[in-house]
Structure 1
Amino acid sequence: MSEADAEAAEPTPGKTEVWIEKYRPERLDEIKGHENIVPRLQRYIEQDDLPHLMFAGPAGTGKTTAAQSIAREVYDDDWRENFLELNASDQRGIDVVRDRIKDFARSSFGGYDHRIIFLDEADALTSDAQSALRRTMEQFSNNTRFILSCNYSSQIIDPIQSRCAVFRFTELSEDAIEAQIREIAEIEGITVTDDGIDALVYAADGDMRKAINALQAAAVMGETVDEETVFAITSTARPEEVEAMVDHAIDGDFTAARAALEDLLMERGLAGGDVIDQLHRSAWEFDIPEQATVRLLERLGEVDYRITEGANERLQLEAMLASLALENE
């Protein structure tokens, strides 16, 4: 390969990097949207009194980022040697707790009072593994701190919860996501229109990771990121399109409602679960009577349960629209 070819083969800086990692905050004070959580974590570090922690909340809200930021602030450049990250959804058996965690907890530390073990998706651990983890937390509490991350704290056994300071991460606010998007766009030299920002915030639904991924994907399509590009990239329907489908059903026009659903599922490529999520998110924003909104939510609950149990998505959604239309004939 010639020198010119070698240069051409090299990736362009900034273009091949994954932005969710490139722009992941490294310090607690860089984390956006959790003004009630960050100061409390900083206080633990300042007082050198870090307890076992549990971070509970939806995906993409900063739980892993917070754990890594704590490690960076406690250990500085040595954080990787003193921070063990395990994903319980991949390694959920009791052997992981008995072997990898114990081996790490027993190893030498190099001058620090304790090491940190971060167990991501801890709610995927089996009951036996959680019981073993509880005993391990007791055995090594003098030199090891555990940070557990989960989507549902109710899936964690009470003996573990009682040993942790629990922090509940909520979905990020629209302002926090917008601020991060604008900051990244400015650094990367991307032009994002106001309606493009609104579309990214809507598609993210409180998930910062989803917003940054969508921005990177949309940026590849052209120099300007607008509403049309974002909705196409994220396979998300515009709120007004979903509302129009519901309006047709409530007006008793099942044929038009079914055609709108067909467009979303077949032409736009949305999954049935995506349609349900968008309907649920936007239900109270629709310009429809309150009683109709209540009926819509009732039907959504039934459809979501049936789809979860294995029913046909399209059939269930059409049945929901039909029931709304029949009530308004």
Structure 2
Amino acid sequence: MAGNGESAMEVEEPEPQPKSAAPMEKGKAVVVPAGLPLHKDTPWVEKYRPQSLADVAAHRDIVDTIDRLTSENKLPHLLLYGPPGTGKTSTILAVARKIYGSQYQNMILELNASDDRGIDVVRQQIQDFASTQSFSFSSKSSVKLVLLDEADAMTKDAQFALRRVIEKYTKSTRFALICNHVNKIIPALQSRCTRFRFAPLNAAHITERVQFIIKAEGIDVTDSGLAAIVRLSNGDMRKALNILQSTHMASPRITEDAVYLCTGNPMPKDIEQICFWLLNEAFAASFRRISELKTKKGLALIDIVREVTVFIFKIKMPSDVRVQLINDLADIEYRLSFGCNDKLQLGSLISSFTHARSAMVAAAK
């Protein structure tokens, strides 16, 4: 790592050391970030945010590696990347609490790079903080921490300026960059950080954490309602807790129907019906029926396409036909994400299934 001198805390980039999965004992305390009062309407995402590394729901190999580096006073610059709601910010905040204790507020600079993304922020706020002498009463570390959330939103000029700041203040400051898309971080910054990828959480971790909150809040949730929350979260813990809280506010009992009604996602039985129309009805009939269902239930076509993509794995068809259909659906979803006309994309959806149906008939002969 380039810089003005070697630091006792500088390390070569380590490989995360996998460890045997310990029993998950998360949610040991109901806590709120400093300064946030505990009200009944506090967002559960914050109310139940892990306050220590032991409370982080998953990614134990990453958490244990960072914990070990922290304990050995060898914490490097960090680059944590992966999808939203996978524990990136919670992990680094828990690290900061472990290192600084009661001096936590004085020893870290936390910025959201999507708001403060220009070069002036690097030259002013970040450089001023990094250059200021720290007076920590903590026996663990006098090295400060700069936390840049959503770092992939920073401009290229800001990232190049940040690279120089990192080099200059390595002895006194550690930098933690958090982002969803690591490819948007310039190589010069990536090479100066130890990278850890946070994958989407598996269903078991989300289920356990949600069950803990259900018990803590005294909520009436059916098994099918819990399964729907976990399924719709797609590995995003933040999304799971938001769905749980919003559904609880809308319905005294959280059932599968209540979850789908609250989120506006198409229900499994609706997707099954849509797939039946796509595989059996003529183009005009399919278009009319799906359009009527969309209007009646207020469904978004992009949500229908995503759910249909999952459902087709339950349909028996030749593997090459399934692969082609999945690719077609991915193209439709991509176009919808950029605001393409719904009616045109619905026509594309029906056409894709028409071709798949013809291919299935030809393969059966």
TM-score surpassing 0.5? Answer: yes
Q: Which amino acid aligns with 1:129?
A: A
SS of 1:55 mapped into structure 2: strand
Identity of matched residues, %: 37
Bigger shift: residues 166-175 or 247-256: 247-256
Aligned position for 1:109: 134
Pairing 1:33-112 to 2, within 5 Å after superposition: 33-111=58-136, 112=141
Give the RMSD, CA atoms, in angstroms.
2.1
Structure 1 stretch 234-243 or stretch 72-81: which is displaced more? 234-243
Residue aligning to 1:262? 291
Q: Which amino acid aligns with 1:138?
A: E
Q: 1:137 aligns with which of 162, 166, 172?
A: 166
Amino acid in the other structure paired with 1:180? R
Is contact 1:247–1:288 with CA below 8 Å preserved after alignment? Answer: no
Structure 2 residue 336 is the aligned partner of structure 1 residue 307: yes
- State the SS of the aligned residue for 2:60: coil
Q: CA 1:113/1:260 → structure 2, altered by over 3 Å: closer, same or farther? A: farther
Cα distance in structure 2, aligned partners of 1:279 and 1:84 = 44
Q: Is the 8 A contact 1:273 1:304 kept in 2?
A: yes
Q: Greater helix share, 1 or 2? A: 1
Aligned to 2:34: none
- SS state of the match for residue 175, structure 2? strand
| SS of residue paired to 2:61 | coil
Q: Within 2, Cα distance between the matches of 1:234 and 1:180?
A: 20
2:206 corresponds to which letter in structure 1?
A: I
Query: Per-residue displacement from partner, 1:135-162 (whole Å, max 9, x unpaired)?
Result: 1100111111111011111111111111
In the other structure, the counterpart of 1:203 is 232
Alignment of 1:17-28 (within 5 A): 17-28=42-53
Query: 1:187 pairs with 216, 219, 240, which one?
Result: 216
Is 1:158 matched up with 2:187?
Answer: yes
CA distance in 2, matches of 1:179, 1:259: 42
Letter in 2 for 1:254: F
One-letter code aligned to 2:158: A
Deviation string 1:215-267 (CA, Å, 9 cap, x unpaired) is 11111233321111111111112234224322321234435543553255323
TM-score relative to the length of structure 2? 0.81
Residue 268 of structure 2 is matched in structure 1 by 239
How many aligned residue pairs are there? 317
The answer to whether the 8 Å contact 2:266/2:303 transfers is no
Equivalent position of 2:250 in the other structure: 221
Give 4+ residue runs of structure 1 displaced > 4 Å after superposition. Answer: none
Does structure 2 conserve the Cα–Cα contact (< 8 Å) formed by 1:245 and 1:256? no
Aligned residue for 2:84, secondary structure, equals coil
Greater mean deviation of Cα atoms: 182-191 or 78-87 = 78-87
Question: Partner of 1:237: helix, strand, or coil?
Answer: coil
Q: Aligned to 1:242, what secondary structure does the other structure show?
A: helix
Which residue number in structure 2 is paired with residue 9 of structure 1?
none
Q: Which residue of 2 aligns with 1:230?
A: 259
Structure 2 unpaired stretches of 5+: 1-36, 359-365
- In structure 2, what is the equivalent of residue 147 of structure 1? 176
Q: Which residue of 1 aligns with 2:24?
A: none
Tell me if structure 1 keeps the 8 A contact 2:81–2:179. yes
Deviates more, 1:208-217 or 1:282-291: 282-291
Displacement of 1:294: 1.9
